[in-house]
Copies of this chain bind each other. A is one copy, B any other.
Amino acid sequence: MVDNALSPHGGKIVERVVPTPAEKLRGLTQVPIRGPQARECLGIAYGFFSPLEGFLTAADVDSVVKNMTLASGYVWSIPLVFDLSEGQIKEMGIKEGGKLLLTYQDQPFATLDVEEIFSYDKELMAKNVYGTTDPKHPGVKRTQAYQDKFVGGKVTIVNPPVINPPFDGFWFPPKAQRELFAQRGWKKVVAHQTRNVPHAGHEWLMKGAWFAANADAILVNPVIGEKRPGDYIDEAILLSHDILRKAGYFREDIHTTSLLLWDMRYAGPREAVFHAIVRKNLGCTHHMFGRDHAGVGTYYDTYAAHRIFNELPDLGIYPVKTLEWWYCPVCAGIAYEEQCAHKQEAQRFSGSLIRSIIEDGVKPPRLIFRPEVFDLVMESAEKYGHGSPFVNEAYLKRPDPVMTIPAMQL
């Protein structure tokens, strides 16, 4: 039996960032990668995804798909694979035992050891990871879009990216994040996963979870990655959470914000497990899970992400399972579903409610939506969002705003 409670996951933080001179990279087969792959390389090499050291080999993929563990026995819920077409492999002469130079933004970026070239049943992968093979599910669609071959092997960042403003202030890989927690004297930290600009319901979800975890602090750790039209823009999400603290809705000594580079899979319960493991690697002891965590459409029960932890061994990070916070006119404030009996009178927060508030451009009551957050969202729209706080075509087309790979002449 593997002790999944070891912290970090697997017992140590993976670090595979080795700035490497150009002469050592010459002659390697170059493979250009896309943004999602670049983000995965960073996640692996900076230890967010410990104990992964690279893209999964066949035995790991099969075990993750079927057992939700790596072949070694550590719990792991989402297969991280590096796909290529059979044509590309043949054309580029990629062989097991070789090494690839992954390029991004036309620059050398990382190496990938070709330990294994394999294929895997993508239908089975989708079915087990997402519980569905419906191509309308964005995770299923992503799986089905994979090329037919996977290359498993270790990843090393050879040309570390520069993280651009405003993201740079939130870039805390596991070692740095853990150092920050240690400096602050925080022993118990509860993580908040988000893709939202926070309203007062989110704020209380965090405040309640802080109590439930008897936590020293809250880590707000928005997922930054591939966007869909209508999503909040990343900059608004990150900065608006941070302003909650700066404006005093959270004390400085109990709150911090950092980012996670990750393309949402919308895998519901399996993604909840993934989030837990990543935040454990960041040094958190607890992770909050609200309704519909990492879900999409109606593929998962509202609280499927709560139940999955009952079936898992001790992960060394504890789920704080929360129900709904709502506005209750009888209580005259934000109230919690399990405490407040005014279910009939309660007014539920909804994404579309807050969206319409923001679209109207009229400041809502501060009890519902903090004016500082509102102002910041509007500023972010101008500064980063091509006039909108919601992702539009122009936002989708911009080059990777988070990282810039330094120029390197091979």
Q: How large is the interface on A (under 10, 10 to 19, 20 to 34, 35 or more residues)?
A: 20 to 34
Q: Which residue of B lies closest to A209 (CB)?
A: B211
Interface stretch among A85-93, A244-252, A269-277, A293-301? A244-252
- Partner pick for A332 among B211, B214, B330, B366, CB 8 A cutoff: B366
B339 near A251 with CB under 8 A, answer yes
Interface string of A41-67 (1 = CB under 8 A from B): 000000000000000000000000000
- Partner pick for A212 among B212, B254, B333, B336, CB 8 A cutoff: B212
B residues less than 8 Å from A330 (CB atoms): 247-249, 366
State how many angstroms separate the Cβ of A233 from the closest Cβ of chain B: 26
- Partner pick for A249 among B207, B249, B331, CB 8 A cutoff: B331
Interface string of A230-250 (1 = CB under 8 A from B): 000000000000000101111
State how many angstroms separate the Cβ of A211 from the closest Cβ of chain B: 3
Q: Which residue of B lies closest to A332 (CB)?
A: B367
B residues less than 8 Å from A208 (CB atoms): 211
Q: Is A341 an interface residue (CB 8 A)?
A: yes
A248 near B340 with CB under 8 A, answer yes
B residues less than 8 Å from A348 (CB atoms): none
Q: Is A386 an interface residue (CB 8 A)?
A: no
- Partner pick for A341 among B211, B250, B339, B366, CB 8 A cutoff: B250
State how many angstroms separate the Cβ of A138 from the closest Cβ of chain B: 34
Q: Is A334 an interface residue (CB 8 A)?
A: yes
User: Known contacts A333-B334, A334-B333: does B367 contact A207 (CB below 8 Å)?
Assistant: no
Q: Which residue of B lies closest to A248 (CB)?
A: B341
Q: Is A342 an interface residue (CB 8 A)?
A: yes
Q: Is A97 an interface residue (CB 8 A)?
A: no
A333 near B336 with CB under 8 A, answer no
Q: Is A210 an interface residue (CB 8 A)?
A: yes
Q: Which residue of B lies closest to A207 (CB)?
A: B339
Q: Is A121 an interface residue (CB 8 A)?
A: no
Residue of A212, A250, A333, A339 with most partner-chain B CB within 10 A: A339
Q: Is A365 an interface residue (CB 8 A)?
A: yes
- Partner pick for A333 among B250, B251, B367, CB 8 A cutoff: B367
State how many angstroms separate the Cβ of A152 from the closest Cβ of chain B: 41
Q: Is A338 an interface residue (CB 8 A)?
A: yes
User: Known contacts A332-B366, A333-B367: does B340 contact A251 (CB below 8 Å)?
Assistant: yes
Interface string of A325-350 (1 = CB under 8 A from B): 00000111110101111100000000
Interface string of A79-119 (1 = CB under 8 A from B): 00000000000000000000000000000000000000000
How far is it, in angstroms, between the C-alpha of A366 and the C-alpha of B333 when the chains are bound? 10
State how many angstroms separate the Cβ of A232 from the closest Cβ of chain B: 23
How far is it, in angstroms, between the C-alpha of A334 and the C-alpha of B339 when the chains are bound? 15
How far is it, in angstroms, between the C-alpha of A333 and the C-alpha of B331 when the chains are bound? 10
- Partner pick for A211 among B212, B251, B365, CB 8 A cutoff: B212
B residues less than 8 Å from A334 (CB atoms): 333
Interface string of A300-344 (1 = CB under 8 A from B): 000000000000000000000000000000111110101111100
B212 near A339 with CB under 8 A, answer no
14 new A-B contacts, CB < 8 A, other than A249-B331, A251-B341, A332-B365, are A207-B336, A208-B211, A210-B339, A211-B211, A212-B214, A245-B341, A248-B330, A249-B330, A249-B341, A250-B341, A251-B338, A330-B366, A332-B366, A332-B367
The 4 lowest CB-CB distance pairs between A and B, nearest first, are A211-B211, A248-B341, A332-B367, A333-B333
